[in-house]
């Protein structure tokens, strides 16, 4: 393993890493090992008994300046293209927001009939939670989205279940017939 030790006026750095102060006892031990011609214990652990080539640069007349990070290709996270699950940007809503969403609901609920809660994850990353009767139709979910977010009225979208992923193509089915009681529904833009 090739390691570059740079000595600065106010400390030292390893391989363009953070500045390490000369006054810190751990760092003083590190430098003492180097002065004795030994490989410091920290580096021995790093290479697991392998060979270490320690190069040194003297910059003791200069103050440490943090180096600019070099671009590393493919250093980020991967994203699955065409994923049925949109990336959720918003934070989960609190129970108060959930209640507010239900109280301002444009859906009429018959309290004498069985009800269910549906969470809808919108394509913009936000989510809605709404109570529906089990006899409401899939079309009512679409209407609720448009009433809650009028911007989607002119947008072509489909509703999809989360797992297994299935597009809800027959919007005349009741929520019970579509088997989406107490589930999460995704909105996907076409």
Give me 54's structure tokens. Answer: 């320690």
Residue 140: what pLDDT?
Answer: 92
Question: Burial code of 131-141, b = ≥16 C-beta within 10 A, e = fewer?
Answer: ebbeebbbebb
What are the residues whose beta carbons fall under 8 Å from the beta carbon of 16, sequence distance 6 or more? 4, 67
Burial 91-102 (b: 16+ CB within 10 A, else e): eebeeeebeebe
Domain ranges of the chain: 2-58, 115-189
Whether residue 2 contacts residue 48, with contact meaning beta carbons closer than 8 Å, is answered with: no
Model confidence pLDDT, tens digit, residues 99-120:
444 445 578 888 898 999 999 9
**CATH (one of 3.30.2350.10, 3.30.420.210, 1.10.10.10, 1.10.230.10) for 2-58:** 3.30.420.210
| Sites in the chain below the pLDDT cut of 70 | 69-105
Cα(117)–Cα(133) distance, integer angstroms: 9
Distance, C-alpha 114 to centroid of its chain: 36
Evaluate whether the domain defined by 115-189 bears CATH number 3.40.50.720. no
Q: What is the pLDDT of residue 117?
A: 92
pTM: 0.46
């Amino acid at each position: 393993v090739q390691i570059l030790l740079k000595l600065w006026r106010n400390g030292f750095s390893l391989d363009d890493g953070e500045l390490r102060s000369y006054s810190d006892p751990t760092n003083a031990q590190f430098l003492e090992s180097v002065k004795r011609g030994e490989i410091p214990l920290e580096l021995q652990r790093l290479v697991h008994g392998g060979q270490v080539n320690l190069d040194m640069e003297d910059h003791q007349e200069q103050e440490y300046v943090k180096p600019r990070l070099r671009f590393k290709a493919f250093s980020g996270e991967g994203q699955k293209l065409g994923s049925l699950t949109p990336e959720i940007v918003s934070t989960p809503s609190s129970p108060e927001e959930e209640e507010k969403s239900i109280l301002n609901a444009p859906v009429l609920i018959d309290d004498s009939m069985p009800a269910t809660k549906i969470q809808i994850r919108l394509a913009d990353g936000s989510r809605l939670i709404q109570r529906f009767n089990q006899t409401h139709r899939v079309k009512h979910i679409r209407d609720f989205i448009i009433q809650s977010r009028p911007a989607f009225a002119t947008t072509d979208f489909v509703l999809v279940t989360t797992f297994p992923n299935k597009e809800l193509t027959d919007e005349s089915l009741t929520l019970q017939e579509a088997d989406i009681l107490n589930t999460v529904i995704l909105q996907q833009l076409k």
